[in-house]
Structure 1
Amino acid sequence: MHFTEPVYRNPYWPTWPLLEVTQGCTHNKCKFCTMYKGVRFDLRPLEDIEADLAELRSTVPHARTIQLLSANPLALPYSRFKPILEKINEYLPDIEFVYTQGRVTDLRNKTVEQLRELRDLGLREISMGTESGDDWTLDRVNKGYHAEDIIEQCAKLDEAGIRYWHSFLNGVAGRSHSREHAVNSAKIFSQTNPMLVGTGGLTLFPGTPLLEEAQVGEFDPLSEKEMFEELLLFVENLTCDCSFITHHTIGGENLSGPNFLARKDDIIASLRDEIEHGDLDTMARIRAMKRSL
């Protein structure tokens, strides 16, 4: 199998098999991320993809799911993405679900009809690295799109019948814009139809512009308690009926699971309990030990 280091995969999806169709990230400019620092975005040659599919056919010939790597394979134009899905179906005819990561901007160059055709070839679920629905925050951390783009592009996925995830990056706006980040993200996400909303807490990793800005006083990171308070505000304002998970945020009971709206009051109660009684110092130490998203 051909893989380019580092290899990241969504841990909440079926994790085998993995198929690398691109390497790196087309954007690679988000101020909080070092995931693909130094990795040039490129398309894995089709002959390599076919060789990997042949190997998978010999080891897992009846695979029903497959996860595409790396950061945002969906950035490939329709004319290059479709043949890859066709090859997957040729070598693994039992495939039912193709999972991939994507950026909001990856959808701009695809029509609803093209997305529908990709869905018919197995593309069923996309994890969108949305991070925020607040324009100030999106500009602040250089995401490369705005809230209106999230709504517009997700509407195309809805029409095409492709499910998608949103992520909320807790703490990424800093103290000065925390409230707007939480409230506006919840409002924008609630104008779409995600199957899942996931939240992760910001860690300032070495080598990120956001850490450098924090070190010179240009970014005001939240304390662990303030992170929970921001997350609480986000949850209070989120109204889409979806699954809800937290990752990279330590602590809290009964936070993750399906049927968000039915569990919303319990999630709010758990977050308030963490704010009042949680071991926030320990959580902060654990967060400080993280070295990667």
Structure 2
Amino acid sequence: MHYEGKIYRPWMEAKSVLIQTTLGCSNNQCTFCTMFDDKRFKVRELEAIFKDIDEARLLHRKVESIFLIDGNVMAMRTDKLLKILDKIKVTFPELKHLALYSGFNDFRRKSMSELKELRSAGLTTAYSGLESGDPIVLERIKKGMTREHAIKGMEMAREANIQVLASFIFGLGGKERSVEHAKNTTSLLNIMRPDAIAPMALAIQPGSELERELHRGEFALPTPLQILEEEKYLLENMDDFPCYYWGDHGNNIASMRGVWPEVRQSFLQNINQHIAHNPMAKKNAIETYAW
């Protein structure tokens, strides 16, 4: 198996075989992110990808889950992605789960027939960074996406029967826009109704543009209490649509996961306990560290 540069995968994919199909991220401008600052976006050659798939077959007697990396793999041409999926399907007939990173804009840039072809070829799940539902925060972080883009992308993924996990970041609005960030993100989730969500608390990455904004005084770190209150607002106001809540990212103050909406009350009790009794909630700013 051959990998180039820093490698990332969602924590839910810890047991998946990783196949590198793209290098980097086609956007690669988000102010909070340094995941792919060591490479420029490109699609790997099919020959190299196929070689890795064959080597993975030799290494693993049984593979039920594969995750395609790097960044937004969905950005590649559909015909090339279909060839990769077909190769995987033939090589791993026992496969049950095939996932990748995809921006919500990447769904919009495909036709519905293309998305349905990808689903038929074995694609089951896409991990998509929502980050925020607040228009001002989305503009400030240079996401290159609007609320309307996210809604349309989710609609298209759902019609194609591709499951979507939407990730977003508590605290991304900073101290100034904490309330607006929480309210607008929750309202957007209620419109989109993704199959799963992965909320995580902000951690300022060394070398990121957001770190420079922090040092220049253009961004003020939220407090841990604001992080907890953002999640409390979400838990109180997210609608009762079926969804899996992956709230156990390592950054999170209150780690919890489960099937929504059944977990609402137990999660709220947990958050309220942290607000009332966690010493971290008394601190003036969140602690930051590298991923």
TM-score range, shorter chain: over 0.9
Contact 2:224 2:285 in 1 (8 A): no
Q: Deviations over 1:23-69 (max 9, x none)?
A: 11111100011111131111111111111111122232542221101
Listed as ranges, the matches of 1:192-231 within 5 Å are 192-231=192-231
Task: Compute the displacement of 1:285 (Å).
Answer: 9.7
2:110 aligns with 110
Aligned length: 289
Contact 2:221 2:286 in 1 (8 A): no
2:25 aligns with 25
Contact 1:62 1:93 in 2 (8 A): no
Residue identity opposite 2:254 in structure 1: G
Task: Compute the displacement of 1:203 (Å).
Answer: 1.2
Q: Deviations over 1:198-244 (max 9, x none)?
A: 11111112211111111221112101111111221122221133111
Contact 2:119 2:160 in 1 (8 A): yes
Tell me the distance in 1 between the aligned counterparts of 2:102 and 2:282: 33
Using structure 1 for the length normalisation, give the TM-score: 0.92
Query: What stretches of structure 2 of length at least 5 have no aligned partner?
Result: none
Listed as ranges, the matches of 1:55-94 within 5 Å are 55-94=55-94
- The alignment's C-alpha RMSD in Å is 2.0
Listed as ranges, the matches of 1:1-293 within 5 Å are 1-13=1-13, 15-239=15-239, 240-246=241-247, 247-252=249-254, 255-258=256-259, 260-280=260-280, 287-288=287-288, 290-292=289-291
The farther-off stretch of 150-159 and 92-101 is 92-101
Using structure 2 for the length normalisation, give the TM-score: 0.93
Task: Compute the displacement of 1:197 (Å).
Answer: 1.0
SS state at 1:129 partner: strand
Contact 1:201 1:227 in 2 (8 A): yes
Query: What stretches of structure 1 of length at least 5 have no aligned partner?
Result: none
Tell me the distance in 2 between the aligned counterparts of 1:115 and 1:73: 13
Task: Compute the displacement of 1:185 (Å).
Answer: 0.7
Tell me the distance in 1 between the aligned counterparts of 2:91 and 2:209: 43
Tell me the distance in 2 between the aligned counterparts of 1:237 and 1:55: 47
Task: Compute the displacement of 1:72 (Å).
Answer: 1.2
Residue identity opposite 2:209 in structure 1: P
